[in-house]
């Protein structure tokens, strides 16, 4: 390849990268929490693609402690809007997704991971360390014993080890497992909202809801916890209540 051909390839790559970054920045900057939506349906194919992209979010040890309930039944959707306190973002939404954190599914999902690792063949070998991780370390990290009774003991042991060397201090107990599951689920929620924006639709992540009623509406098990309810649709001109407010970066971003 001649020097001119190399230069042409570099320039082409730079232009492609610049276009991609500009498109992504536009998606991030134009995403807003929309409070009122137009009466405009979201095509089913787009919703399904957005939900597929949602599941590609990063998550702890690939244990995927999340569930997403796309509420399509009109009666349930009406009830869900009531559970969301009748706020306009829920009442006018074309679609609604209940995002659920599951601190109690790690054993099942760990089993699935081990089954996938066992299916690896000689042409695509899996490091032995990966299998050891799921067989040994994951149970040590996520296991809390019956009724989470091992939590205080784990915290004590982790803190004692941490006196001598860097050591993880959690999760230890129910509260730590809740944080673990909600943190991962929230990452996926962002994927969903950005995906909708990329396809020209908008969303509103709602925390104002009656969680107990939503769980009953969807017949969710005891271990399920609602992270947020995301409404989606085409933004109305009245849907943005004001300019986006962000406090000075110096209060939140630090270079150390």
Region of residue 145 (phi > 0: left; psi between -120 and 50: alpha; otherwise: beta): left
pLDDT value of residue 216:
98
Q: What is the mean pLDDT of residues 178-205?
A: 98
How far, in Å, CA of 169 to CA of 77, rounded?
A: 41
Nearest-CA neighbor of 35 among 96, 91, 98, 97? 91
pLDDT value of residue 124:
79
pLDDT value of residue 88:
97
Residue 103: pLDDT band with limits 50, 70, 90? very high
Q: What is the mean pLDDT of residues 155-167?
A: 91
Q: What is the mean pLDDT of residues 181-195?
A: 98
Q: Is there a contact between 117 and 130 (Cβ–Cβ < 8 Å)?
A: yes
Residue 178: pLDDT band with limits 50, 70, 90? very high
How far, in Å, CA of 214 to CA of 204, rounded?
A: 17
Residue 120 in this model has a pLDDT that exceeds 90 = no
pLDDT value of residue 4:
65
Residue 179: pLDDT band with limits 50, 70, 90? very high
Of 97-106, 112-121, 221-230, least confident by mean pLDDT is 112-121
pLDDT value of residue 10:
56
Q: What is the mean pLDDT of residues 155-165?
A: 91
Q: Residue 119 corresponds to which tokens in the numbers above?
A: 């299916």
Task: Give the full edge-to-edge strand order of the sheet including 202-206.
Answer: 66-71, 95-102, 224-233, 202-206
The pTM of this model reads 0.91
| Segment holding 230, helix H or strand E | strand 224-233
Nearest-CA neighbor of 154 among 165, 166, 143, 164? 143
Strand ranges (E), 72-174: 95-102
pLDDT value of residue 16:
76
pLDDT value of residue 11:
64
| pLDDT one-digit tens code per residue, 15-52 | 778 989 999 999 999 999 999 999 999 999 999 999 99
């Amino acid at each position: 390849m001649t020097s001119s051909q190399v230069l042409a390839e570099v320039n082409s790559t730079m232009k492609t990268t610049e276009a991609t970054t500009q498109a992504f920045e536009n998606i991030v900057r134009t995403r807003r929490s929309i409070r009122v939506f137009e009466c405009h349906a979201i095509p089913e194919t787009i919703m399904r693609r957005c939900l597929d992209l949602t599941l590609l979010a990063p998550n702890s040890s690939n244990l995927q402690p999340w569930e997403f309930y796309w509420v399509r039944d009109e009666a349930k959707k009406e009830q869900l809007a009531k559970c969301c306190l009748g706020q306009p973002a829920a009442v006018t939404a074309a679609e609604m997704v209940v995002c659920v954190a599951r601190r109690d599914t790690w054993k099942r999902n760990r089993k699935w991971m081990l089954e996938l690792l066992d299916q690896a063949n000689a042409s695509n070998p899996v490091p032995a360390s990966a299998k050891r991780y799921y067989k040994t370390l994951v149970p040590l990290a996520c296991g809390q014993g019956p009724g989470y009774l091992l939590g205080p003991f784990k915290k004590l042991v982790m803190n004692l080890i941490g006196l001598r060397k860097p050591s993880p201090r959690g999760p230890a107990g129910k509260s730590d497992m809740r944080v673990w599951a909600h943190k991962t689920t929230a990452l996926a929620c962002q994927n969903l909202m950005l995906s909708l924006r990329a396809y020209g639709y908008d969303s509103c992540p709602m925390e104002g809801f009656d969680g107990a009623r939503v769980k009953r509406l969807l017949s969710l098990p005891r271990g399920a916890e609602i992270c947020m309810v995301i409404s989606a649709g085409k933004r109305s001109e009245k849907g943005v209540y004001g300019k986006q407010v962000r406090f000075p970066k110096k209060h939140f971003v630090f270079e150390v």
